[in-house]
Structure 1
Amino acid sequence: MSFKRVKIPLVSQLKIVAVACLILTVLEVVNIVTGRSLNSYGLIPRDTSTGWIGIFTSPFLHGSLLHFFSNIVPFAIFSVLVLQHGLIRYILVTVVCILLSGVLVWGFGRPGVHVGASGLIYGYFGFLVLAGIFSREIKLILISIFVGVSYGGLIFGVLPGMPYISWESHLFGLLAGFLCAWLWAHEKKQKK
């Protein structure tokens, strides 16, 4: 399937990211005001009573204000960088990373409630590290190098560590991002 890279203006990119961050912020405020009641819609591995709702909702929920702030900044930065690959690819990478990492956490994650945008952030990270290299375009290669050097420490987040951090979301998000880069980053920018 062909998804040529069509550049959109920087102002449009920033508006998209601002709207996405605003949605996450509004949900965080509602979650705080309601005593984190929205977290009942988090992802609970292999729980069939709640259905698959957590796969779709968990990236928009956070366990604490600190958790929210630790996710919103890299989410915004990586969103702008993924948008350098075009709006269609941004949407595709976002949807695939949310769904694929969510399904894998639901199937293989530890028991407990998994919430947070970190699976998506790791998906963006994985995509950005490989996509520039696959594209062979100088600007995108430079983005890959920047992300790899500046955020390379994220790779340690895929290892089991603290009991309240969903390393499974990190790992499966990273793998989903790699898959997205492999699927779509080879196609060149569309000529106008």
Structure 2
Amino acid sequence: MTGTGGHSALPAQPNKRPAWLVGGLTVVSFVALLYVIEAYDSVTGHQLDRNGIRPLETDGLSGILFAPLLHSNWEHLVANTGPALVLGFLMTLAGLSRFIFATAIIWIVGGFGTWLIGNIGAPTYNGVVVETNHIGASGLIFGWLTFLIVFGFFTRKVWEIVVGVVVLFIYGSILLGVLPGTFGVSWQGHLCGAAAGVLAAYLLSGPERKARALRRPVRPPQLNS
């Protein structure tokens, strides 16, 4: 196939979707999945909720994979929906691959931390700690929140620092959820998710930190006479 003048015609390049649109669709799809799961859970008598994180129990380890997808009721899910949509979308602005890796780190590390300390503060009955079962996307949300707050300070990029400050101003008060409070609210999951978010921000800012280190002038050694 040739174009005008006998030159080979270049194939038309497909229009690439804007990053913000891809990120938005990704987060909306994830939240929609949470609603599908909760709908199924509701009609089956909340049997899925048993698959949460049960601390220090071997068969409770599998809950690390499932807990962020499960919610105790519709009110629980609705309460998590707004922050998940906003913070999840802002996370994707740092790059979809970073969003995926950060989410994986928060999901696994935060979940494992919850498995380790999830019984702290739980009531006891006849000297035995009452079994706890941690479910909900709030640990993931807390991880996204702390990631956004500190990521810019690791990368030293102005717009990412601005995003962090704005997020801290709007959502900073919910960080109080990492403190022990009402039994039935997984402050342990919030705390571990938040810590995992800071870890993810540090690890994933590695390229910027290394580039910054290479730009630093090397001081010649001092020789004393």
Fold match (TM-score > 0.5): yes
- How far off its partner does 1:185 sit? 2.4
Map of 2:185 onto structure 1? 165
Which sections of structure 1, spanning at least 5 residues, go unmatched? 1-7
Letter in 1 for 2:159: K
Map of 2:79 onto structure 1? 70
Q: Is residue 157–residue 167 contact of structure 1 (8 Å, CA) maintained in 2?
A: yes
Is 2:101 aligned against 1:92?
yes
Map of 1:137 onto structure 2? 157
* Matches of 2:93 and 2:27, distance apart in 1: 12
Map of 1:55 onto structure 2? 64
State the Cα deviation string for residues 17-52 of structure 1 (Å, max 9, x = none).
12111111101111111121100111110112x252
Give the stretch that moved more between structures: 159-168 or 176-185.
176-185
* Matches of 2:116 and 2:74, distance apart in 1: 28
Map of 1:5 onto structure 2? none
* Matches of 1:13 and 1:150, distance apart in 2: 21
Q: Is residue 43–residue 106 contact of structure 1 (8 Å, CA) maintained in 2?
A: yes
Is 2:21 aligned against 1:11?
yes
% identical equivalent positions: 34
Mapping for residues 115-134 of structure 1, pairs under 5 Å:
115-134=135-154
* Matches of 1:178 and 1:17, distance apart in 2: 21
Pick the aligned partner of 1:20 from 30, 39, 46: 30
State the Cα deviation string for residues 35-74 of structure 1 (Å, max 9, x = none).
21100111110112x2521010000000111110111211
RMSD, aligned α-carbons: 1.5
Q: TM-score, normalised by structure 1?
A: 0.90
Map of 1:83 onto structure 2? 92
Map of 1:32 onto structure 2? 42
Could you say which structure has the greater relative contact order, defined with CA pairs below 8 angstroms and 6 or more residues apart?
1
SS at match of 1:160: coil
Q: Is residue 84–residue 140 contact of structure 1 (8 Å, CA) maintained in 2?
A: no
Is 2:203 aligned against 1:183?
yes
Letter in 2 for 1:128: L
Which sections of structure 2, spanning at least 5 residues, go unmatched? 1-17, 120-130, 209-225
